Amino acid sequence: MTITKKVLMLPGDGIGPEVMRQVQRVMDWMAKKRDINFDVTEGLIGGASIDAHNNPLTDETLADAMAADAVLLGAVGGPKWDNIPFDIKPERGLLKIRKEMGLFANLRPALVFDALVGASTLKEDVVKGLNIMILRELTGGIYFGQPRGVEERDGVRFGFNTLVYSEPEIERIARVAFDMAMKRNKRMCSVDKANVLESTVLWREVVERVAKEFPEVELSHMYVDNASMQLVRNPKQFDVMVTTNMFGDILSDCAAMLTGSLGMLPSASLGAADETGARKALYEPVHGSAPDIAGQDLANPLATLLSFAMMLRYSFDMGDDATMIETAVQNVLKGGLRTADIMQPGMAKVSTTVMGEAVINELNKLV
Ligand code: IPM
Ligand code: MG
């Protein structure tokens, strides 16, 4: 039976629209070859929305996001919007959609494809076969804590933010992380700064408590400074890592660079499951809007295609189709095609469009 899923596409800025077009092609392919149809709506976010509405995320777009089965986002931001007021910067749109949709669990896999092992700045044996899942808390912590701001007190200006976590906030992200660990290798490292920050003393305590429900998972704790060092020293010691919003922001960039190819990494942001088990969800590549190469058909569409694969797996329970797309991507890389960002000697440099086409050709072979 063919199912229909409502997907909101938010291409955003810079290379967002062009990488998104390659996903649209895969969706069209799936509608022809697989038991699924996509009812696609497009919306504006970030700079594109600022240009049209003077607002990085309008209520209409937010309502569309809430009504969709899943949201796929390209990228936001660019130098054009660097000097506008903080409150309407493109990034505010991204933070708002995460918060309003309740997307507290951010899954950031860092996976080294065999064909790209040479792209890492680290030695091959350190990263070959690397497969880490970083679970970043996404709607709390210092990104959203109150009070915040810049104000003058007795003639001196102060900038301040608040790092705050409630027990329920910690508990729910811990649960997602343990569930993930159970589906993977049953190892999980929780990253905090419990030697200095009370909010993460509570973090550690709550993670310990939730751990009792998952006796099979081997849990460890690490301070964030050590974790960043260990990620570079010996990343394969990690499987699932769970951490706060800001530590996750930093560690996930670090983990991304282990793979040597930011242009390859997808992410998923999930909300709480409702009675039917469905979750609000948004999928996006980890890379930014890359304004310097936008509109030139140079960008790597693979991270966005892999984000779409995550959508199939986590929102639509279509793990086989997700695996098929991931395999297609691997095969294209094995075949020697590279976009500029992952170009290596002896390989064939191709455009965004040709890369998308190559994935479809592989899908045709795999189906
Ligand atoms: C990310 C980005 C965002 C974040 C920015 C663009 C607001 O760095 O998704 O990691 O800090 O969360
Ligand atoms: Mg970041």
Statement to judge: residues 95 and 174 lie in one domain: no
Statement to judge: residues 170 and 267 lie in one domain: no
- The answer on pLDDT for 138 being more than 90 is yes
- Is 294 part of any domain? yes
- Which ligand has an atom closest to residue 106 CA? 1
Residues facing residue 153 across a β-bridge: 156
- Which ligand has an atom closest to residue 76 CA? 1
pLDDT recorded at residue 51: 97
Residues with CB under 5 A from ligand 2 (ion): 249
- The CATH number of residue 315's host domain is 3.40.718.10
Which letter, b or e, does each residue of 238-269 get, where b requires 16 or more Cβ atoms within 10 Å of its Cβ?
bbbbbbbbbbbbebbebbbbbbbbbbbbbbbb
- The answer on pLDDT for 119 being more than 90 is no
What 3-state class would DSSP assign to 337?
strand
Going by pLDDT thresholds of 50, 70 and 90, the confidence category of residue 265 is very high
pLDDT recorded at residue 261: 81
pLDDT recorded at residue 170: 98
Q: At what angle do helices 90-100 and 59-67 cross, to 10 degrees?
A: 40
Which residue owns the Cα nearest ligand 1 atom 1? 249
Which residue owns the Cα nearest ligand 1 atom 4? 249
Give me ligand 2 centre to Cα 288, in Å: 9
- Is 128 part of any domain? no
Rounded to an integer, the average pLDDT of 225-242 is 98
- The answer on pLDDT for 69 being more than 90 is yes
Task: Tell me how far apart the alpha carbons of residues 165 and 155 are, in angstroms, rounded to a whole number.
Answer: 32
Task: Tell me how far apart the alpha carbons of residues 80 and 84 are, in angstroms, rounded to a whole number.
Answer: 9
Give the residue among 50, 68, 27, 135 at the shortest CA–CA distance from 282: 68
Q: Which of 13, 143, 165, 192 is catalytic?
A: 143
Give me ligand 1 centre to Cα 35, in Å: 34
pLDDT recorded at residue 2: 86
- The CATH number of residue 222's host domain is 3.40.50.2300
Contact 281, 268 (CB under 8 A): yes
Catalytic (active site) residue 143? yes
- Mark out the alpha helices in the chain (DSSP H runs): 16-33, 47-53, 59-67, 90-100, 124-127, 167-183, 198-211, 224-233, 245-258, 302-314, 319-334, 352-366
- Choose one of 97, 136, 245, 249 to mutate for the ligand 1 pocket test, by most ligand atoms within 8 angstroms of C-beta: 249
Give me ligand 1 centre to Cα 276, in Å: 30
Which residue owns the Cα nearest ligand 1 atom 6? 91
Lining residues, ligand 1, CB within 6 Å: 91, 94-95, 249
Closest ligand 1 atom to Cα of 106: 9
Statement to judge: residues 358 and 287 lie in one domain: yes
Q: Write out pLDDT tens, residues 284-316.
A: 999 999 999 999 999 999 999 999 999 999 999
CA dihedral angle for residue 168, residue 171, residue 177, residue 178, rounded to 10 degrees: -150
pLDDT recorded at residue 152: 98
- Mark out the alpha helices in 54-137 (DSSP H runs): 59-67, 90-100, 124-127
Statement to judge: residues 238 and 277 lie in one domain: no
Tell me the residue length of the chain: 367
Q: How many structural domains is the chain composed of?
A: 2
Tokens 């490292």 belong to 189
Going by pLDDT thresholds of 50, 70 and 90, the confidence category of residue 249 is very high
Statement to judge: residues 214 and 305 lie in one domain: no
pLDDT recorded at residue 237: 98
Rounded to an integer, the average pLDDT of 68-87 is 96
- Is 129 part of any domain? no
Q: Which of 225, 292, 317, 320 is catalytic?
A: 225
Statement to judge: residues 274 and 242 lie in one domain: no
Query: Which of 219, 234, 258 marks a domain boundary?
Result: 258
Catalytic (active site) residue 253? yes
- Is 24 part of any domain? yes
For 224, the token pair is 């964030």
Catalytic (active site) residue 283? no
Contact 126, 235 (CB under 8 A): yes
- Which ligand has an atom closest to residue 286 CA? 1
Catalytic (active site) residue 125? no
Task: Tell me how far apart the alpha carbons of residues 263 and 13 are, in angstroms, rounded to a whole number.
Answer: 16
For 200, the token pair is 């993460």
For 25, the token pair is 């092609």
Give me ligand 1 centre to Cα 90, in Å: 11
Domain with 232 in it: 155-258
Closest ligand 1 atom to Cα of 94: 7
Rounded to an integer, the average pLDDT of 201-205 is 98
Query: Which of 258, 273, 301 marks a domain boundary?
Result: 258
- Is 137 part of any domain? no
Statement to judge: residues 276 and 297 lie in one domain: yes
Closest ligand 1 atom to Cα of 77: 6
Going by pLDDT thresholds of 50, 70 and 90, the confidence category of residue 260 is confident
Are β-strands 3-12 and 36-42 bridged in parallel, bridged antiparallel, or unpaired? parallel
- Is 204 part of any domain? yes
Closest ligand 1 atom to Cα of 246: 11
Statement to judge: residues 306 and 327 lie in one domain: yes
- Is 131 part of any domain? no
For 14, the token pair is 């810079």
Going by pLDDT thresholds of 50, 70 and 90, the confidence category of residue 88 is very high
CB atoms under 10 Å from CB of 103, counted, come to 22
pLDDT recorded at residue 182: 97
What 3-state class would DSSP assign to 157?
strand
pLDDT recorded at residue 328: 98
Task: Find the helix or strand (DSSP H, E) in which 223 lies.
Answer: strand 218-223
Which letter, b or e, does each residue of 40-61 get, where b requires 16 or more Cβ atoms within 10 Å of its Cβ?
beebbbbbbbbeeeebbbbeeb
Statement to judge: residues 19 and 30 lie in one domain: yes
Q: Write out pLDDT tens, residues 268-281.
A: 999 999 999 899 99
Task: Tell me how far apart the alpha carbons of residues 310 and 264 are, in angstroms, rounded to a whole number.
Answer: 13
Query: Which of 200, 224, 258 marks a domain boundary?
Result: 258
Give me ligand 1 centre to Cα 249, in Å: 6
Closest ligand 1 atom to Cα of 252: 10
Statement to judge: residues 266 and 254 lie in one domain: no
Going by pLDDT thresholds of 50, 70 and 90, the confidence category of residue 254 is very high
Rounded to an integer, the average pLDDT of 349-363 is 98
Give me ligand 2 centre to Cα 247, in Å: 10
Going by pLDDT thresholds of 50, 70 and 90, the confidence category of residue 263 is confident
Give me ligand 2 centre to Cα 56, in Å: 18
Considering the chain, what is the average pLDDT of its residues? 96
Statement to judge: residues 9 and 101 lie in one domain: yes
pLDDT recorded at residue 1: 78
Statement to judge: residues 268 and 366 lie in one domain: yes
Q: For residue 342, report the phi and psi dihedrals to the nearest 5 degrees.
A: -120, 20
Q: Which of 64, 80, 99, 249 is catalytic?
A: 249
